[in-house]
Amino acid sequence: MNLCMTKEELKNILLEHYGIVDAESFLSPQYILANPFLFRDMEKSVDRIKKAIDKKEHIGIYADYDCDGIPGAVILLDLFKKIGTKEMVHIYIPDRHEEGYGVSSKGIETLISEGVTLIITVDVGITAIAEIASAMSQGVDVVVTDHHGILAIGMPAAFAIVHPEVGDYPNKGVCGAGVAFHLVRAFIEKYGKEYEIPEGFEKWSLDLVGFATLSDMVSLTGENRILVYYGMMVMKKTKRVGLQILFQKNNIYLPNLVESDLTFTVAPRLNAASRMDTPMLAFDLLSTDDEVLATAIVTKLDKINTERKTLVARIVKSAHTSLEHRELNDVVVVGNPEWRPAVLGLVANKLEESYGKSFFVWGEGGDGSIKGSCRMIDEHHASLLFQALPDGLMIHAGGHQAAGGFSISKDKVHFLEEALNKALKNVENNPPAGGENKNEIEFPINGVNTENLKVVRNFAPFGIGHSEPNFVFKNVLIKDTKKFGKNKEHMECTITDGKKIATAFMFFANDSVFGKFAPNSEVNFFGSLEAGWRGGVRVRIKDVI
């Protein structure tokens, strides 16, 4: 192994590592997106929106309560603000605990009672066959914008459906907010001049498109990479007051913004709104121009996010206890009527990471029904698995590859695991996602510097399908170690190869890890490079070898 790692050597290693042939087009992608009218009902949709605007109809935006649906709703609202018809727009985001995932009859009836004659869904609707039929039968047109899996029985009889699986739009992996963004693009392309919308106006929405793409765990390949690449640029100079204050309060320096700042700091706080309170907190934060209101919301989100962490930790501990004597199938179902459904996606994610199995986790909703969330290992696909289940087993289910939500009757939930594993045999497994780490890249301590960090960041954005490079650090000597964090659950240490010294850290290090990183110990570990809290470069420890 070389005694040093120059930036040119590192660049060439990473190009080979990711299988990149055309370095220039990958490292500096052009902002070129496909024609939005390739979605089947796109023109029909924008024409209906124009009619609603011109006739001063009340328009309802029905969005999902997560960090995909809420940004998508704000993107649509930005368009109506620019046109000057904000007062005619009604926002509906369902209560996660009471209503659960998807379009509800309550939501439809609420919007209709407010005089809405056009409903645009965001990140929901493709499985809401009965609910949308009800709206249409009452004379309310529904434009569905969604990206979740289409049911085997077909799509709802909506006025129009804008969905990546319907039509010829090439990016089949676009997130829900991305679909809403393409609707805005199409509207501006056809009618922007008539409403005096300046060219390029929609690009200011890329901050939310990029954020949603990262948060919703869709693949960062092809067009999605372009959306996040330019979305990060816009986010660094975002005009959204709420985001500015959220970054400031959490000590995020925008010029150094990276994807993990969004997925580990911003997304959990916005999701805490629907999990622990009301999703309108998140919507208001992203859409407000009022600094006082934004500051109050950020303060509340920080508080309830802390409460959320405590609740999730308690449920995960309970789940571990219930699983310790069970023989685990490929798909595992675990639940308890006392568990709050709103946080079970986070619980499922932690269990999937701990056991390497796909997890369906359920609790009891406020209305007495059983609701839950699932998180899938890479080889499994939530939406396809839902479709393979026997008819009538689920009351409601929806999702995409990595995650989903469901509701089921109390008398059937105990048969769910058996049904899922039986259905799994009829679903073709996914191949491993492209762009993941295939080979170990051994990295020297003296390569931990700002020049090499810049090289790594040139390959960003990182996420699903294009993961951050994990380097192998071998025969590392530990000089000193300390704990940090509110509960002293994190670890920071000084590492050396005998000549060069660097700082390394690990979030949520257990006692076993602390023992291996005792002073004067020698360890091997996987890690990545990132900017340090106090400047410079540090190593984030991912796993001990």
Would you place residue 1 in the very low, low, confident or very high pLDDT band (cuts 50, 70, 90)? very low
Residue type, 309: K
Question: 489 is written with which tokens?
Answer: 């659950």
Is 195 a domain residue? yes
Q: Which residues contact 284 (CB under 8 A, 6 or more apart)?
A: 242, 293, 297
Residues 230 and 262 both lie in one domain: no
Question: 62 is written with which tokens?
Answer: 């029905």
Between CA 188 and CA 194, with CA 192 as vertex, the angle to 5 degrees is 150
Residues 299 and 383 both lie in one domain: no
Residues 244 and 231 both lie in one domain: no
Is 120 a domain residue? yes
Does residue 432 surpass a pLDDT of 80?
Answer: no
Residues 210 and 84 both lie in one domain: yes
Does residue 434 surpass a pLDDT of 50?
Answer: no
C-alpha distance from residue 322 to each of 156, 263, 326, 421, 516 (Å): 39, 29, 8, 19, 29
Does residue 433 surpass a pLDDT of 60?
Answer: no
For the chain, how many structural domains are there in total? 4
Neighbours of 430 (CB within 10 A): 14
CA atoms within 13 A on the CB side of 190: 17
| Residue in the block written with tokens 């899922």 | 420
Is 430 a domain residue? no
Does residue 437 surpass a pLDDT of 50?
Answer: no
CA-CA-CA-CA torsion for 93, 98, 104, 108, nearest 10 degrees? Answer: -60
Is 481 a domain residue? yes
Residues 501 and 458 both lie in one domain: yes
Residues 47 and 91 both lie in one domain: yes
Boundary of a domain, candidates 424, 444, 469: 424
Q: What percent of the chain has pLDDT over 70?
A: 98
Is 321 a domain residue? no
Sign of the Cα pseudo-torsion (165, 170, 175, 178, in order)? negative
Distance, CA of 5 to CA of 294 (rounded, Å): 45
Residues 279 and 399 both lie in one domain: no
Residue 428, classed as helix, strand or coil, is coil
Is 2 a domain residue? no
Residue 479 lies in domain: 7-19+435-544
Residues 335 and 412 both lie in one domain: yes
Contact predicate 122/143, CB 8 Å: no
Residues 169 and 274 both lie in one domain: no
Distance, CA of 541 to CA of 209 (rounded, Å): 30
pLDDT at residue 511 in the model: 84
Q: What is the CATH number of the domain that holds 223?
A: 3.90.1640.30
Residues 178 and 207 both lie in one domain: yes
Between CA 362 and CA 463, with CA 352 as vertex, the angle to 5 degrees is 120
- The predicted model scores a pTM of 0.88
Residue 145, classed as helix, strand or coil, is strand
Question: 522 is written with which tokens?
Answer: 């020698």
Residues 97 and 200 both lie in one domain: yes
* Average pLDDT score over residue span 511-534: 90
Q: At what angle do helices 176-191 and 206-215 cross, to 10 degrees?
A: 160
Question: 174 is written with which tokens?
Answer: 């676009």
Q: What percent of the chain has pLDDT over 90?
A: 82
DSSP 406: E
Would you place residue 337 in the very low, low, confident or very high pLDDT band (cuts 50, 70, 90)? very high
Boundary of a domain, candidates 214, 235, 256: 235
Residue type, 398: G
Per-residue pLDDT tens over the stretch 102-152: 899 999 999 999 999 999 999 999 999 999 999 999 999 999 999 998 988
Residues 227 and 247 both lie in one domain: no
Boundary of a domain, candidates 218, 235, 252: 235
Distance, CA of 94 to CA of 118 (rounded, Å): 18
Is 418 a domain residue? yes
Please give the backbone phi and psi of residue 184, each rounded to the nearest 5 degrees, phi first: -65, -45
Is 68 a domain residue? yes
* Average pLDDT score over residue span 363-374: 87
Sign of the Cα pseudo-torsion (117, 91, 244, 233, in order)? negative
Q: What is the CATH number of the domain that holds 412?
A: 3.10.310.30
* Average pLDDT score over residue span 365-388: 89
Q: What is the CATH number of the domain that holds 453?
A: 2.40.50.140
Residue 219, classed as helix, strand or coil, is coil
